[in-house]
Amino acid sequence: MHLEFIKGYGILFCYFFVCASSALVLRRLVTVPDELFRKILHMILLGSIFGWVYGFKTWWVSAIGTIAFILMVFPILAFAERIPGYSKLLIERKKGEIKKSLVVAFGMFAILICLCWGWLGEKYLILASVLAWGLGDAAAALVGKRFGRHFVRGRLVEGCKSLEGTFAMFVVSFISVAVVLIAHGAVKWYACIPIAAATSAVCAVVELYTKNGMDTITCPLAAAAILISLVHLWGG
């Protein structure tokens, strides 16, 4: 257990160190739009799910690793917030956003690892759920900012979200889920399309109506609920 934890944790530590350092160097050397840089950080976080899934052999060791990561990084970020320019460098929209995102994202990883890998024994469901949210959310933000023309407003919608962004999330989530299902061979090929469509539609709607940045947890869990139900309905 100890060796597995050290090895897996070492892989994740190196991954984050290399990716985060590269992103910060890039921001220093090249003019990167704020929203694009936020999504680069988002993609670094998203990519770590492959380490949590494949860097460990045991589900509970991986789950413990995600919690240990929170406990290690949270105080570091809390200290870093005192450094002038920290919020501007990491494009925080409000103070403490990075810390909150850390806890929510890795808490969500832990839940999915326990549910999909620990309970069901199906790692690919973790990847499909996280990618449906992560890649779709990135597409929604970038497309919505650049091409958004038709906006959704209402008491249940936070801020101003565009239909173009929501559609982009649907398309990218659909492709992500379909690729994972096909690559894994989880269900018959003809079942992948409706399962991916239902999952991406739910993700897009949940993201549209989720407030306070909590789509980090609501979208992946909603995706997991749909995937688990439909995959097992089709005999996966």
Residue 228 shares a structural domain with residue 145: yes
Considering only CA atoms, which of 137, 211, 194 is closest in space to residue 168?
137
SS3 call for 193: helix
Predicted confidence band of residue 27 (pLDDT cuts 50, 70, 90):
confident
Instruction: State the pLDDT confidence band at 153, using cuts at 50, 70 and 90.
Output: confident
User: Domain end: 100, 121, 142, which one?
Assistant: 121
Instruction: Indicate whether 110 and 141 sit together in one domain.
Output: no
Task: Indicate whether 165 and 226 sit together in one domain.
Answer: yes
Please indicate whether residue 49 or residue 2 has the higher confidence score (pLDDT). Answer: 49
For residue 66, pLDDT beyond 60 = yes
Both 110 and 53 in a single domain?
yes
What pLDDT score does 154 carry? 66
Q: Residue 9: how many CB atoms within 10 A of its CB?
A: 20
Q: What percent of the chain has pLDDT over 90?
A: 57
Q: Specify which residues 152 forms β-bridges with.
A: 161
Looking at the fold, whether 165 and 56 belong to one and the same domain comes out as no
pLDDT at res. 105: 94
| Residue-level pLDDT at 224 | 97
Q: Is residue 97 located within the same domain as residue 191?
A: no
**Could you tell me the pLDDT band of residue 159, with boundaries at 50, 70 and 90?**
low
* Same domain for 145 and 58: no
**156 pLDDT higher than 90:** no
Question: Is 20 buried (19+), middle (13-18) or exposed (0-12) by CB count in 10 A?
Answer: middle
| Tally of structural domains, the chain | 2
Helix and strand numbers, DSSP H then E, in the chain: 9, 2
pLDDT of 39 strictly over 90: no
Greatest distance between any 2 Cα atoms in the chain? 55
What is the predicted pLDDT for the residue at 236?
A: 56
Shared domain for 74 and 146, answered yes or no, is no
C-alpha pair distances (Å), 205 with each of 184, 221, 231: 26, 13, 20
- Does 139 score more than 80 pLDDT? yes
In this prediction the pTM is: 0.92
Residues 50 and 91 reside in one and the same domain: yes
Same domain, 113 and 21: yes
Q: Which of 121, 141, 156 is the last residue of a domain?
A: 121
Q: Among 121, 156, 189, which residue terminates a domain?
A: 121
What is the reported pLDDT for 94?
Answer: 81
Query: What's the CA gap between 80 and 5, in Å, rounded?
Result: 27
Strand partners, 43: none
Same domain, 49 and 30: yes
11-21 tens-digit pLDDT? 999 999 999 99
Residue 208's pLDDT band (cuts 50, 70, 90): confident
Is residue 39 located within the same domain as residue 106?
yes
Over residues 96-126, the pLDDT tens digits come to 788 888 899 999 999 999 999 999 999 999 9
Domain that holds residue 4: 1-121
